[in-house]
Chain A
């Protein structure tokens, strides 16, 4: 049965779907109070941000003579927002759609989803942490029940570094892990092959042993990620192995991903090239990086910090449902039943 049919059969279900309206309204009100500009960013783009872990949707733009140009669906509004900040816009946000391929068969993903990104000029990521606390409180109030568990939103939230979380939950010394990941992972019983990368082992330990503990009882801000895992983040000055990146978790769900933004055009271009080599190696849909964005960085992106928040997950939380499809009138799995 499709969602519209279920709604027709059971009008009580409408309430769950109306949560989306309230969340969207609360987000816009929050940024209006904070005096941010709202920007409409393009969905049809020529150059996706170079991130090797994403699979992009490719399409074709035709001119009047049917001459084809490759086009892509946006994976995030980040690059257009940064160009406008380089032009002098100041604090801004975008509440829009983003598209990521190969994300069916998941309770936490829909290939087309709603993303919120906001950027503050002249601050580092610590201020974005405070924004998250305030925004979530303005949406959820002080407390919320999600899947029978109570979550306390009063501030400040728990803050823990990736290194401390690895120590606390997986008993891994993170300094050691930088050099001896394979040895440590093998001792823990994970499969380690010659081609297994450091980043895969990081994620496997993280997903199995760390993530399930995050955001239980109250939200957790997890910060200082390995620099290799933050394509657009600024490195930490006192330890260049780490980047000024944080994520926040509620009830084991990752809700947002934030950076002190990289503003150096040379390093940005390097990282894009590295990512695109990885895209090729993985045999994914390939594309060129956005040279215009590098130009914008050269003219000077002011120091700024920003975050991407998965709005559908936020709605899941507010609607107390375990499946993202239950927050969407038209989930992709109903549109494309064959892909399941």
Chain B
């Protein structure tokens, strides 16, 4: 486990972990604001790791905050149990679970048996470092309507995790496509 360290608002990253009012929180979103009356500020939305509650707080730009030490472990996604997602360490076979609320939009693109980077604070799994792109197979797709020549027209398909994705007409069943898991948008044919 890494030691507690102090960072400044310049080190904020989306998905990063910091202490807020003595409790560990994840940075869901942050925005630089320049109120036009002087110095710069950073407006954040912070999600409590304990309660899942999201609140806003505005820091002075450059203000020091305590970073919550988070390590990364490679773990395999096993299954969903209630609103928890269960993962297993590839080497020690230890299991842990992450609440749905901590995974956000990413839950739609989790594929059983695939390995993910799990973020751990002490013994507790607190999140998942998702790649910018996930590659998933299209399991259900209709043919693009015949004679539809409107270029750029789209249709929806279902991928192997069950998520619905809007794609260009030329995508066929059985193809693998790349998706941005944060927004759920189609990126390219993979």
Report A's interface with B, CB cutoff 8 A.
1, 5, 8-9, 52-54, 100, 102-103, 105-109, 189, 191, 196-197, 199-200, 202-204, 206-208, 212, 225, 229, 254, 257
Contacts and interface: CB of A to CB of B under 8 A. Distances in A.
Given A191-B64, A208-B57, A105 B152 contact: no
Contacts of A225: 37
Contacts of B185: 1
A110 to B, nearest CB: 13
Given A105-B32, A109-B34, A197-B38, 13 more contacts: A5-B152, A103-B34, A106-B33, A108-B31, A191-B60, A200-B38, A200-B39, A200-B60, A203-B37, A204-B58, A204-B59, A208-B57, A257-B36
A9 B38 contact: no
A208 B59 CA distance: 9
A199 B38 contact: yes
Contacts of A108: 31, 33
Contact of A9 (B31, B39, B41, B153): B153
Contacts of B40: 53, 102
Interface string B125-159: 00000000000000000000000000111100000
B43 A207 contact: yes
Given A9-B153, A9-B154, A208-B57, A189 B33 contact: no
A229 B38 contact: yes
A209 B38 CA distance: 17
A208 B151 CA distance: 47
A203 B35 contact: yes
A8 B153 CA distance: 8
For the complex of A and B, 4 pairs with smallest distance between CB atoms: A207-B58, A229-B37, A9-B152, A199-B38
Interface of B: 21, 31-41, 43, 56-60, 63-64, 151-154, 185
A207 B35 contact: yes
A106 B31 CA distance: 5
B35 to A, nearest CB: 5
Contact of B21 (A189, A200, A208): A189
Contacts of B41: 203-204, 207
Contacts of B60: 191, 196, 200, 203-204
Contacts of B152: 5, 8-9
B36 A53 contact: yes
Contacts, number: 71
Contacts of A257: 36
Contacts of B64: 191
A254 B36 contact: yes
B32 A103 contact: yes
A197 B62 CA distance: 13
A202 B56 CA distance: 18
A177 B40 CA distance: 20
Contacts of A229: 37-38
B39 A197 contact: yes
Contacts of A202: 37-38
A1 B167 CA distance: 12
Contacts of A102: 32, 34, 40
A199 B34 contact: no
B35 A106 contact: no
A203 B31 contact: no
Nearest to B29: A107
16 contacts: A1-B185, A8-B151, A9-B152, A102-B32, A102-B40, A107-B31, A108-B31, A189-B21, A191-B60, A191-B63, A196-B60, A199-B38, A200-B38, A203-B35, A204-B41, A225-B37
Given A9-B152, A208-B58, A53 B31 contact: no
Contacts of A204: 41, 58-60
B119 to A, nearest CB: 22
A9 to B, nearest CB: 4
Contacts of B63: 191
Contacts of A54: 34
Contacts of B151: 8
A53 B153 contact: no
B155 to A, nearest CB: 11
A106 B33 CA distance: 7
Given A1-B185, A197-B39, A207-B43, A106 B32 contact: yes
